[in-house]
Chain A
């Protein structure tokens, strides 16, 4: 079964500092991986996705993630945090085999300190 693990349920960074949110995956087949963001009282918005075309994936709002097979990781980064980045971030993997199902990590809440 495919799964993702997010390390750190809460991360605090100063405005302008590097954002690093960690995600490790477990999969017996090449995974398709996603990062979603959820602002308070809202649904999920797609930040970026990895589909094996390129290991470094650029997303919206200045975020990017690098797929590292040797480390089974797909960490999300942003060079400079902005106050508007405060939200909860979910790493996810999609299964496809008869039906399509997304399995989410437990989420990381990002706090940005002014």
Chain B
């Protein structure tokens, strides 16, 4: 059974650019959630995808968007990057929308210059 994987592991962008981060969910999981973890902080919920539809969103602006594909893998897109977007972006997968455990990937470290 494969765990949650994310790519790339590290990324450097400049302010104003756009970035796409990718996540493959754990086998059998149909729900993917994305979190932003700034340095020295706990992860903050960005949004969640369930069966290819956005199913919940945290306090993040619309320039943060995403997709979920039929195989339940997911992308996080961030437009018009700002310096404060520099963070570790974590993807988590789970089965369904109940209180099942979310399993996290290793994260993508994004640096915006």
We find that the number of chain B residues with CB closer than 8 angstroms to chain A is 31
Q: Which residue of B lies closest to A104 (CB)?
A: B42
Asked if B98 CB lies within 8 Å of chain A CBs, one says yes
A-B contact pairs, 8 of them (CB 8 A): A41-B109, A43-B6, A90-B43, A100-B98, A100-B99, A101-B33, A104-B43, A107-B41
Contact A34/B101 with A42-B106, A42-B107, A43-B107 known, Cβ cut-off 8 Å? yes
Whether A102 contacts B106 by the Cβ 8 Å rule is no
Q: Which residues of B are found within 8 Å of A105, using beta-carbon distances?
A: 42
| Chain B 86-112: CB-based contact to A (< 8 A → 1; otherwise 0) | 000010101011111111111101000
Q: Which of A91-110 contact B (CB under 8 A)?
A: 94, 96, 98-107
Count of A interface residues, CB-CB < 8 Å = 24
With known contacts A43-B90, A43-B104, A45-B104, A102–B97 Cβ distance under 8 A: no
Q: Chain B: residues with CB nearer than 8 A to chain A?
A: 4, 6, 31, 33, 35, 41-45, 48, 50, 55-56, 58, 90, 92, 94, 96-107, 109
Residues of A contacting B: mostly? strand
